[in-house]
Amino acid sequence: MKIADARVVVTCPGRNFVTLKITTDDGLTGVGDATLNGRELAVASYLTEHVVPALIGRDAARIEDTWQYLYKGAYWRRGPVTMTAIAAVDTALWDIKGKAAGLPVYQLLGGRSRDGVTVYGHANAETVDEVLTEVGRYTELGYRAVRVQTGVPGLDATYGVGKDKLFYEPADAALPTETAWSTPHYLSHVPEVFRRVREEFGPHLQLLHDVHHRLTPIEAARLGASLEPYALTWMEDPVPAELQEGFRLIRQHTTTPLAVGEVFNSIWDCRQLIQEQLIDYIRTTVVHAGGISHLRRIFDLAALHHVRSGSHGATDLSPVCMAAALHLDISIPNFGLQEYMRHTPETDAVFPHDYRFEDGMLHPGERPGLGVDIDEDLAAQYPYQPAQLPVNRLQDGTVHSW
């Protein structure tokens, strides 16, 4: 079973996606997501120019060997572009292996550890009153876990609050739009949001919040402590995590559980966070962390240290990544939660998939492989459109994390 063809498809059914499609000499195909929001063409070029020529003629069954070949063989290790490209190859080869075996990929990973994959949705709105309505909308749809983000009084625009409620997309312009930020305004507002949500929805709905890397450790410690009465499932990305030991300080001051990892690309980015038990959930996902093979290593390390998975599932991760994530989520022992931002109908049509939402859970389906594909004819009708994520500045003009 040799790789006969591999090609990269870039499409924009409302937002940009990069997909690798591999075909074997016996006619099997596999797909892998290669989308890196705002930097899509860097990965497309990495794959087309440097990876695809080396794939032709390789044994499609040798997933681990191909992973090592691309990782060690590049000499330049890690980083989002490299690891996203490797992830795409790895995911496509798992898809092919499943089809060759006639089994859904989760069966190759050890079979089911649970009935379904519990997901959280995104309730977002400018005001607290409006966000209560949004949370209610998600509970009516059957969600058991909801992430809550609101605007901050005094600030014009805030991460996590979109114009379109179900389909939030922040990469909205060819060059970054700029937004203003104030930590004092934010810190005094968020506890009141969660007080109101708990009051309205009671103690059992799982609640989450994404800080999106905008605080320092001591500020995050204060926020975590002030949210303790509202028993969040997690506080996400409280600080930029290049400095892994920065989490020690947050940990010393609050019992609010911590989640981090959507921008991590390898086990080396979270090794200390996991081994020192500085976090509760690791949020790396298939497309940005080297594919199913590498992500499974991260989750195995996490399992040894009481850390559960909480994979990133924003709309900039394509349905191909979501399908792959679900096969892993359903099989690992230490699954926590899966993020699920619904894709638009246009995106769902370009990526027909077998997974389905029911009673607050996603189910990967029983089709051999990953159960997802790309409709290349339809994809061709949506050409690439440059779009980048916003840049955040403090009110005095200093560039800040967005």
Catalytic residue numbers, as ranges: 159, 212
The DSSP call for residue 30 is E
In 12-116 the beta strands, taken as DSSP E runs, fall at: 17-24, 29-33
Q: Assess 212 for contact with ligand GCO (CB under 6 A).
A: yes
Q: Which stretch binds ligand GCO (CB under 6 A): 86-94, 273-281, 308-316, 348-356?
A: 308-316
Q: What is the CA radius of gyration of the chain?
A: 20
Of 1 and 166, CB closest to Mg ion: 166
Task: Using CB under 6 A, pick the residue from 33, 95, 210, 280 that binds ligand GCO.
Answer: 210
Q: Assess 269 for contact with ligand GCO (CB under 6 A).
A: no
Contacted by 339, from ligand GCO, Mg ion, none: CB < 5 to 8 Å by type:
ligand GCO
Q: Assess 90 for contact with ligand GCO (CB under 6 A).
A: no
Q: Assess 33 for contact with ligand GCO (CB under 6 A).
A: no
Q: Count the residues in the chain.
A: 402
Of 244 and 285, CB closest to Mg ion: 285
Task: Using CB under 6 A, pick the residue from 37, 233, 256, 265 that binds ligand GCO.
Answer: 37
Task: Using CB under 5 A, pick the residue from 90, 95, 134, 210 that binds Mg ion.
Answer: 210
Q: Assess 327 for contact with ligand GCO (CB under 6 A).
A: no
Task: Using CB under 6 A, pick the residue from 95, 134, 219, 262 that binds ligand GCO.
Answer: 262
- C-alpha 264/C-alpha 242 separation (Å) is 9
Contacts (Cβ under 8 Å, ≥6 apart) of 321: 33, 35, 91, 285, 286, 287, 313
- C-alpha 327/C-alpha 335 separation (Å) is 11
How far, CA to CA in Å, does 114 sit from each of 273, 328, 331, 334, 364? 26, 11, 7, 11, 12
Residue 128: its H or E element? helix 128-141
Q: Which stretch binds Mg ion (CB under 5 A): 255-263, 265-273, 316-324, 391-399?
A: 255-263
Q: Which residues pair with 279 in a beta bridge?
A: none
Q: Assess 378 for contact with ligand GCO (CB under 6 A).
A: no
How far, CA to CA in Å, does 208 sit from each of 85, 134, 264? 30, 14, 20
Task: Using CB under 6 A, pick the residue from 316, 326, 371, 387 that binds ligand GCO.
Answer: 316
Q: Which tokens hold the place of 62?
A: 């040798």
Report how many residues bind ligand GCO under the rule CB under 6 A: 10
Residues that bind Mg ion (CB under 5 A): 210, 262
Residues that bind ligand GCO (CB under 6 A): 37, 170, 210, 212, 262, 312, 314, 316, 339, 389
